[in-house]
Chains A and B, each alone.
Chain A
């Protein structure tokens, strides 16, 4: 039996409800932008081109920390083909995505803080000329000592990376304790106590950042940018350029991947805008792959001292986590990171008591920020490994200990987060069955193993980044007499498919064919504001806004159809472009005719708006709203690994990932999000690591030297969708794009332990680290074999 294969095939799984109507909620509708992406006609930022367009390039710092004494662009300006140049003094206003920690300049004003920090910019007739001109810019630096680790930053408060910062090199410190942790820990039956290191990793979207700016004859500025936060870019452009926001339009074209790496304003957006204003010509900047690595905002390296105490039944009595976060040179979302590192750990298990002490430090390296699973992937790895280890001491099965600690539904977590629906137990059950856990865990031949882990994540946050009472997301829906539906939404489709969900919501509520919907998205002149694609907020918040708008219009259409068909409005069924009587289906009219009738009845064009209004959520203490979400998703993974004990080379052969997404609005898209998340998590366990030399230079900022998995490196992934029906979500939906990443890493670590009895606490699990752990294990075993204190 120990050699048994997993017995569950996808078709053996129990069945759920089918889509409510063709093209509507729950249907596998192809993405609305799929054809344009398939035939190459879809336009991304770098595909845009305008007459007289200039190409600009940014000069970057060769020093990790230095004062900039002088920047001279005179020679560059004399180079044939160069049109203009830009230095930091021309854009002195600081910016940053969080209003309280704005510490970045588009181009260095007086200090550079990492190798790759932006210093100056030139615009030329073509890219090659701009590149040549960069070499003609003369910069005088006064090098300063560089702080390249958390320890160096702590030990040298006198070397301040940000002179205005009040507390040395601390970017943010948070300490919260819920209940008497020390007392509960002391009386625990089993304690796991260890230090974990999480390596930094980066998003590496295949599309490099790109922005194009153009100024029209009236002085209005338009910026097309590969951003996932058009609204914040709009606000920051206005502040930095000193232009009224009503004079600025930000448009997000098709976006070639983001994962959090495009959720800050970046130097290129300010540079193209300023240069377009200065020259009167369109200006484009396309980052090189190397510049994408320096722009970073990736996963924070964290050192975590985790203690988990269980009682003899395996219930979690106390969790204590001391976290040091390596933030890099700027704040970015760091204030949130420091909170998320603690606030998002308190499910899917009930904690008896909990304390975290989280400090984010500035260092002279590219700034870290929000990468898929922002702030919570690292502590989740440490905690799930620690839980496994403590349960092992008590002889409790890893799946069973997770089941026993299940927090439940409609409950408050220990830090005051309101959990609504919670399908975690079903997730555990599915991966347990699919992997044939009971027959295979602990029983596979040496070198092969299974590991399990769980996790939880937010569906948006109550915290709107800048305090305001306006909706977090707005949608406008307009009906045309032709039967064409236009949806205007500020939300950013970054590949996750929100534009498709908007078309599906129209099909569900209005009864149109989803192919008859035009989605106008992420254009600050045309679309209502949505705050951006981050914190897994878009499906939830934009979905509710769209539903609200569509419901109002759907009612009008059904009333118009009922009047024409001489039936009651409640009898009208609207589906795929036809409105018919449910009781007498031969009575029907087309969707377009219903639009015309409803417009005639209303006497005004048919349009409606909907919004998502931030609810008051979270614990009643300082920081209690950070991490407070209207709904939480849950995930369980089982990973299977094979370890070669001779070489330390290992691979993940398969990952079963079950994710509670509330309601799968489009199962194809949900599966895609689970699969992509699992891939990205496994990659962090396998190979990804931002490594710097002793001067702060990033090793190999390329997709060859910073390897990301190819098809040959990626495990087989079995994505299992669990529906729990979230009461507050759109049609019961919750997030699916970030949660399923978390559990992959600890599930792999726990599987490696099952395979060969080693606990890996430092990412990534390189063969060298595996081999070192195996040698340490063998030494321990050797000593135990000759110890006088033999146990029976």
Chain B
């Protein structure tokens, strides 16, 4: 198969990758650069698991883009951030720490994309309202959490609240049942 050599700037590093002309950015990241943190959930732009951040030349804003419907060749010239680049020498990003601490990561498969969308939101809106969070994350499908702990994690990352510390409620023991019930069940069993 014929391949083309392209140059990508990912997580601050410039890399040469050889890809098929029709290869997507997601394929270039996962197969070409072994950056497997970006996930393939649908390969057609529906689920958001492949979300990475892209910064155009001359712009100071990092925007979430879907790597599975971006041609690898078209990503040349963009400064890309994948989940591997969100943490630095100082450790995990505040978003990653909050997602881990709040239980926003269940299976974790959608979360690289989710956390990058959350990072882009907080870069632009440091103290988002709940509707702002819901809107910003609406392109990232999660099947595990019902989004509840994801909202909490974004708010924790923004320093707007502490992680949930609610305690369970005890149930008082109900009075014991009549002893004849077992007999009754035996009588009417099929």
The chain A residues found within 8 Å of chain B, CB to CB, are: 10-11, 13-18, 28, 30-31, 33-35, 37-44, 46-47, 49, 81, 126, 128-129, 176-179, 203-208, 254-259, 286, 288-289, 353, 406, 408-416, 421-423, 425-427, 430, 494-497, 619-621, 624, 658, 660-661, 663-664, 667-672, 675-680, 702-704, 708, 710-712, 714, 716-717, 719-725
B185 interface hit (Cβ, 8 Å): yes
Kindly state the separation between the CA atoms of A496 and B41 in the bound complex, as whole angstroms: 19
User: Can you name 29 A-B residue pairings with CB atoms under 8 Å?
Assistant: A10-B166, A17-B167, A31-B105, A35-B92, A39-B96, A40-B38, A47-B36, A49-B34, A257-B143, A258-B107, A286-B40, A414-B185, A421-B173, A426-B171, A430-B169, A495-B108, A619-B189, A664-B168, A670-B168, A671-B148, A672-B103, A675-B145, A679-B146, A680-B143, A703-B42, A711-B137, A712-B135, A721-B167, A725-B171
B102 interface hit (Cβ, 8 Å): yes
Kindly state the separation between the CA atoms of A312 and B184 in the bound complex, as whole angstroms: 23
What sequence of 0s and 1s flags, for each residue 124-163 of chain B, a beta carbon within 8 Å of any chain A beta carbon? Answer: 0000000001110111111111111111000000000001
Q: Which residue of B lies closest to A125 (CB)?
A: B1
On whether the beta carbons of B100 and A35 are closer than 8 Å, the reply is: yes
On whether the beta carbons of B188 and A179 are closer than 8 Å, the reply is: yes
On whether the beta carbons of A667 and B166 are closer than 8 Å, the reply is: yes
Residues of A within 8 A of B47 (CB): 206, 289, 703
If A207-B109, A416-B185 touch, whether A38 touches B145 (CB-CB below 8 Å) is: no
For residue A10, give the distance in angstroms from its CB to the closest CB of chain B: 5
On whether the beta carbons of B163 and A28 are closer than 8 Å, the reply is: yes
Residues of A within 8 A of B142 (CB): 206
Partner of A703, one of B46, B84, B112: B46
B111 interface hit (Cβ, 8 Å): yes
Interface size class of B (residues with CB under 8 A): 35 or more
Partner of A289, one of B43, B101, B165, B168: B43
Residues of B within 8 A of A14 (CB): 169-170
On whether the beta carbons of B174 and A672 are closer than 8 Å, the reply is: no
Residues of B within 8 A of A208 (CB): 40-41
Partner of B144, one of A41, A257, A704, A717: A257
Residues of B within 8 A of A33 (CB): 108
Kindly state the separation between the CA atoms of A423 and B115 in the bound complex, as whole angstroms: 37
For residue B91, give the distance in angstroms from its CB to the closest CB of chain A: 9
B110 interface hit (Cβ, 8 Å): yes
If A30-B100, A31-B100 touch, whether A257 touches B107 (CB-CB below 8 Å) is: yes
For residue A81, give the distance in angstroms from its CB to the closest CB of chain B: 7
For residue B9, give the distance in angstroms from its CB to the closest CB of chain A: 18
Residues of B within 8 A of A427 (CB): 171
Partner of B188, one of A414, A495, A661, A671: A414
Between B46, B151, B185, the greatest number of chain A beta carbons within 10 A of the residue's beta carbon is seen for B185
Q: Which residue of A lies closest to B82 (CB)?
A: A40
On whether the beta carbons of A256 and B39 are closer than 8 Å, the reply is: yes
Q: Is the interface of A mostly helix, strand, loop or mixed?
A: loop
For residue A401, give the distance in angstroms from its CB to the closest CB of chain B: 18
On whether the beta carbons of A39 and B145 are closer than 8 Å, the reply is: no
For residue B31, give the distance in angstroms from its CB to the closest CB of chain A: 8
On whether the beta carbons of B112 and A257 are closer than 8 Å, the reply is: no
Between B96, B103, B111, the greatest number of chain A beta carbons within 10 A of the residue's beta carbon is seen for B103
On whether the beta carbons of B188 and A710 are closer than 8 Å, the reply is: no
For residue A554, give the distance in angstroms from its CB to the closest CB of chain B: 25
B49 interface hit (Cβ, 8 Å): yes
B176 interface hit (Cβ, 8 Å): yes
On whether the beta carbons of A426 and B169 are closer than 8 Å, the reply is: yes
Kindly state the separation between the CA atoms of A408 and B166 in the bound complex, as whole angstroms: 27
B33 interface hit (Cβ, 8 Å): no
On whether the beta carbons of B181 and A416 are closer than 8 Å, the reply is: no
Residues of A within 8 A of B107 (CB): 205-207, 254-258, 494-495
Kindly state the separation between the CA atoms of A711 and B149 in the bound complex, as whole angstroms: 12
Kindly state the separation between the CA atoms of A47 and B100 in the bound complex, as whole angstroms: 21
Residues of B within 8 A of A255 (CB): 107
On whether the beta carbons of B106 and A672 are closer than 8 Å, the reply is: yes
Partner of B174, one of A15, A126, A409, A708: A409
If A38-B96, A495-B144, A672-B149 touch, whether A207 touches B170 (CB-CB below 8 Å) is: no
If A39-B92, A702-B42, A711-B138 touch, whether A495 touches B106 (CB-CB below 8 Å) is: yes
Between A33, A621, A663, A711, the greatest number of chain B beta carbons within 10 A of the residue's beta carbon is seen for A711
Partner of B170, one of A16, A286, A672: A16
Kindly state the separation between the CA atoms of A289 and B68 in the bound complex, as whole angstroms: 13
Kindly state the separation between the CA atoms of A206 and B38 in the bound complex, as whole angstroms: 13
Residues of B within 8 A of A619 (CB): 185, 189
For residue B82, give the distance in angstroms from its CB to the closest CB of chain A: 7
For residue A704, give the distance in angstroms from its CB to the closest CB of chain B: 5
Q: Which residue of A lies closest to B171 (CB)?
A: A423
Residues of B within 8 A of A425 (CB): 171, 174
On whether the beta carbons of A672 and B40 are closer than 8 Å, the reply is: no
If A38-B100, A206-B47, A497-B106 touch, whether A710 touches B171 (CB-CB below 8 Å) is: no
On whether the beta carbons of B36 and A43 are closer than 8 Å, the reply is: yes
What sequence of 0s and 1s flags, for each residue 41-61 of chain B, a beta carbon within 8 Å of any chain A beta carbon? Answer: 111101101000000000000
On whether the beta carbons of B141 and A257 are closer than 8 Å, the reply is: no
B177 interface hit (Cβ, 8 Å): yes
On whether the beta carbons of B167 and A18 are closer than 8 Å, the reply is: yes
Partner of A81, one of B1, B43, B108: B1
If A16-B167, A671-B103, A708-B141 touch, whether A206 touches B149 (CB-CB below 8 Å) is: no
Interchain residue pairs A-B with the least CB separation, the first 4: A40-B37, A256-B109, A679-B146, A495-B107
B71 interface hit (Cβ, 8 Å): no
On whether the beta carbons of A723 and B171 are closer than 8 Å, the reply is: yes
For residue B86, give the distance in angstroms from its CB to the closest CB of chain A: 7
Partner of B100, one of A11, A34, A408, A720: A34
Kindly state the separation between the CA atoms of A45 and B86 in the bound complex, as whole angstroms: 23
If A179-B188, A676-B145 touch, whether A13 touches B44 (CB-CB below 8 Å) is: no
B87 interface hit (Cβ, 8 Å): yes
On whether the beta carbons of A206 and B143 are closer than 8 Å, the reply is: yes
On whether the beta carbons of B143 and A204 are closer than 8 Å, the reply is: yes
Residues of B within 8 A of A494 (CB): 107
On whether the beta carbons of A660 and B115 are closer than 8 Å, the reply is: no
Partner of A31, one of B103, B146, B165: B103
